[in-house]
Amino acid sequence: MQLTVGVLLTFLGIDCRLVIPVLRAKSQSAAPRLKSLHGLNRTDRKVETARQLVGMESFIVLLFLFLATAEPSSYGIGDGGREGKSGRAVLLPLRVQEVAPPPRAPANRLRFRHNVSLTVPVAVGTPPQNMTMVLDTGSELSWLLCNGSSLSPPPVPFNASASLTYGAVPCSSPACMWQGRDLPVRPFCDTPPSNACRVSISYADASSADGLLATDTFLLGGAGAPPVPALFGCITSYSSSTGTTNNASDPSEAATGLLGMNRGSLSFVTQTSTRRFAYCIAGGEGPGILILGGDGGGAAPVLNYTPLIEISQPLPYFDRVAYTVQLEGIRVGRALLPIPKSVLTPDHTGAGQTMVDSGTQFTFLLGDAYAALKGEFLNQTRPLLSPLGEPEFVFQGAFDTCFRGTEARVAAASRLLSEVALVLRGAEVAVTGEKLLYRVPGERRGDETVWCLTFGSSDMAGMSAYVIGHHHQQDVWVEYDLENGRVGFAPVRCDLATQRLGVRL
């Protein structure tokens, strides 16, 4: 049965709160995940490659802790977390599980990335099929690898033909004709005699994923939760000149797709009218949480908010559906770096925006800001760390602030490193300790290993934007408040916040 566009745009009048556990994974080698390059630059090829330069190597399954009432019709994600009539909570079991990323050509010239991504289990179709999807605030169109996809070795794909509620969107549908207006490549009509609407997604290494724009039901929260109808990309063809790898021992554990959470018209956030969501990524191996709707269940700390930046006119280098904030400065210890304000503000082309992105691993800074941070960090760490001393060493093309030392020495130095804070309008994102340095895999100098600063150069990476990656959001409660046009931040022990939320529930 094919779902109509009208049904897809109506979220069943239901109010719910979804609480999703997150955990940091132990390091493991894996192929980088498949992810679309949305919006950093719609006209310049080098900027199109930007967001693929950072990826994730292992993924953690997040199982939902779903709050509902005895009257399902009283719930909905999109109403800002209104309490249900009965107030009774339904608890589902929590599970932590390591999974491999979805297959993707290793397009990243950067193997420089942390080893965890945020994934969410979603049951798709009728009867429901269990899928694992990457949570990404920097992408719009959700997608699933569908049966018949040309990938090897694949995860267990979504079997569209087995779902009674699956439907391919026709070419004449408004969803095909105008809802995809925010995508870099708009949906287009298939060749006759087919009347299907097709989607095409480009990747950094010139590989591509193609398939159909489709509809089906997404079940968030397990038994008792209502199905959510949504548009997504049913990917059936994937081409790459470099091949793919997948380290999942069980194909059913591999991530099967991506849940787009930006503000575009086809994102999951927009389709479900979600007006507020938050996550808290724990440091170490403690659990964290993702909450869709609601107010954090009483576990959220007092937040400092920064407004979302809006630019109404289309600009070639400005992603209008990203979560864009204003970077006011960068502080190292107590020293505010001498960076001109003009460098931190989008110019007349839109270049220079600052995005908060759960799908990018580390943080990238544009030229002048990166040079200032590099110089000050090297100056302040001179008594603590030994520079690598190899001017030609640029780790995978974007990270050139590097050091050498034994693990014991670097661990001791990390406790003394000055805090690096991204100063936003009304809020800060502070990076401290071990989050400032990353050990480059496979690089040794005698008994010493190579370490690099976890801030990369946007210019070296071919980007025209600042990006705050989720590695630097660890132990920070991050709330996306679309109702009030703002993003909130507060430092917090995410593992303890998760425990408190569990006690409340």
Contact indicator for 273, 292 with CB cutoff of 8 Å: no
- DSSP for 153-189 reads S----B-GGG-TT-EEPBTTSHHHHTGGGGSSS--EE
Phi (first) and psi of residue 287, to 5 degrees? -80, 155
Which amino acid, residue 226? P
Q: How far is CA 212 from CA 15, 100, 390, in A?
A: 30, 25, 49
Residues of 198-207 as b/e, b for ≥16 C-beta within 10 angstroms?
A: bbbbbbbbeb
Query: Is 79 annotated in the active site?
Result: no
Query: Is 357 annotated in the active site?
Result: yes
Marked catalytic residue, from 79, 182, 319, 357: 357
Mark out the alpha helices in 403-463 (DSSP H runs).
407-414, 458-461
Q: What sign does the dihedral 133-136-137-140 (CA atoms) show? A: negative
Mark out the alpha helices in 366-483 (DSSP H runs).
367-381, 407-414, 458-461
Contact indicator for 169, 212 with CB cutoff of 8 Å: yes
Question: How many whole angstroms from its chain centre is CA 152?
Answer: 24
Contact indicator for 302, 466 with CB cutoff of 8 Å: no
- CA atoms within 13 A of residue 442's CA, in its CB half-sphere: 5
Q: Which of 246, 240, 235, 273 is nearest to 141 (CA)?
A: 235
Tokens 């034994």, residue located: 406
Query: How buried is residue 275: exposed, middle or buried, by Cβ count under 10 Å (0-12/13-18/19+)?
Result: middle
Q: Which of 194, 191, 199, 195 is nearest to 171 (CA)?
A: 195
Marked catalytic residue, from 15, 79, 136, 319: 136
Q: What sign does the dihedral 221-223-225-226 (CA atoms) show? A: positive
Q: Which are the catalytic amino acids? A: 136, 357
